[in-house]
A and B are shown apart, each in its own frame.
Chain A
Amino acid sequence: MPYFWTLVRTSARQQMTYRMAMWAGLATNLFFGLLRAAVLLALYNGQPVVNGLTMDGALTYVAFSQALIAFLTVFGSFDIMRTVYDGSISGDLLRPANFFFYWMGREAGRAVVNLFWRGLVFIGLFALFYPIRTPASFTQWLLLTLSLLLSWLLNFTWIFLTNLLAFWTPDAQGILRWLFGLAQLLSGWMVPLRLMPDWFSRFCTFTPFPGMFNTSLEVYLGLLPGPAVWQALGLQLAWLILFVILAQLIYRAGIRRLVIQGG
């Protein structure tokens, strides 16, 4: 377990050296954030509220969703897939650490740095252009932290699961890109679920994806009354447990296949 925290620390330190890329990323995020804000403003056209989401809330959504791109790795990651394809996975397997937790440690380090550098800094920059709402009370901040943690874990496990496809197909990149896009849509990242047609958001609640983003957004904006918050967090946790179990099973199957087939 102490090994885990060393991983997190080393990974974080490495991430901090990519300073130029961080500035470039911030600039890109800001541009697209302002673009999406303009689109939403035009859509609202002066209406104060739409399906429970105020205009302020909508603008905050834009800031929130852009700020978390790096933290949640919204556009997905192909790193694990690549280690399977180029054979370097054998090096990782020789290490005396659980493969799942090893990658989690690596990604966690990056994520912590990105939460500040691409997250908080971004919100600060965006706030120069549009007003941003923030959680009203200490309890809300606490709930937000919990929800973000669960969101991150869900996102990570999703990426881990999808990358495992590499064990079964020689060209998983196309499918993976598609799966990441699907998650972006169904998690409410592309468009908040409240602004989607009712049938769509109802459909999404049967999928694990809202827990990857939409839940955290609603906690942040305080849109969930009392017990509903705990229900939402509970749902995040439930899906996470399911994902982790799936991940372990599929991973073990994949390794067996790799070892038998010889890569």
Chain B
Amino acid sequence: MMTEPIIRVANLAKLFKVPIREKRGLAAVRSFFYRRFRTVRAVDDVSFSLEPGELVGYLGPNGAGKSTTIKMLTGLLVPTSGQLTVAGFTPWKQRSAYVANLGAVFGQRVTLWWDLPVIDSYELIRAMYRIPADRYNQNLKTFRDLLELDEFIQSPVRSLSLGQRMRAELCAALLHDPRLVFLDEPTIGLDVVAKERIRQFIQHIHRQRGATIILTTHDLADVERLCSRVIILDVGRILYDGELSRLVQRFEGAHELRISAAEDGPALVLPGLPPPRRDGRFLIYSFDPRQTPVAALLQQLNSHVTVADLEVHRPPLEDTIRRIYEQRLLLDDGSHPDSPAGVEKR
């Protein structure tokens, strides 16, 4: 069944004119009267589309252009060129009508009214979004249960802990059943328990309510848990758009097989592999799972040694993504970001 994409972005670009700071001598004096500018391409020819009900992770190093794209998607910023259609609207042109379809949570900003009890903020939101009474009550009850809001729903926002505030904000963002939800660093600064709670909640609203969610985060555990599709941005361009699993498969670093032998002996060097490291009782073999399946490796080892204990370590997603950012693996991939090889659509 062909459905209309809820977000369609085509050749989106945003250029900024940044003044050049002259520091020395004559140039500094001249800059008092006449400033020279250079053009910064914060977003450079970005294209992608989202189907309703998708949960996408939007990743990229700082300064990649993520917040600029999000600002354009939320109607806050006008693009320099390109087309952008969200839920049938042009965001910045029909702002007031458009944002009624959005819900947003910003980990680093408060959108609720600071001095008022949380429930009062919800009442204001109900009025602003013209939520029908029965739907408001229904949603409120559901979220109160899921997010355990009762413990602080009567307290002013300023007295809440970070975790409580995030839960309050999540409820606020969803009370009006938005078609599109933006989550910007929703788990930042939270303890392990709180993070898990938030993730479970996001999963719930994605599965049970079919909301389309764009998740911007630096916490890759969020991504691993929640996203099947990721879009990676750097220097204003999309470097990757596709399945997370395929990204990992392509760029994941070496796995490790750690074994400890039943009896002491010299370290066994296996053909085609670098010699193992020693770490106490353990021998650590680095291998590329794409070339050497771990089963084959074990078989080889078993034929020479009695394995007493073994562990298989995969590099955490964080390491893989870090290497992608640092070494510009996607940029140097040789393929143009928009070519079939570089961009994999679901």
Instruction: Indicate whether A and B are direct neighbours in the complex (CB within 8 Å).
Output: no
Give the interface of B toward A (CB within 8 A).
none
Give the interface of A toward B (CB within 8 A).
none
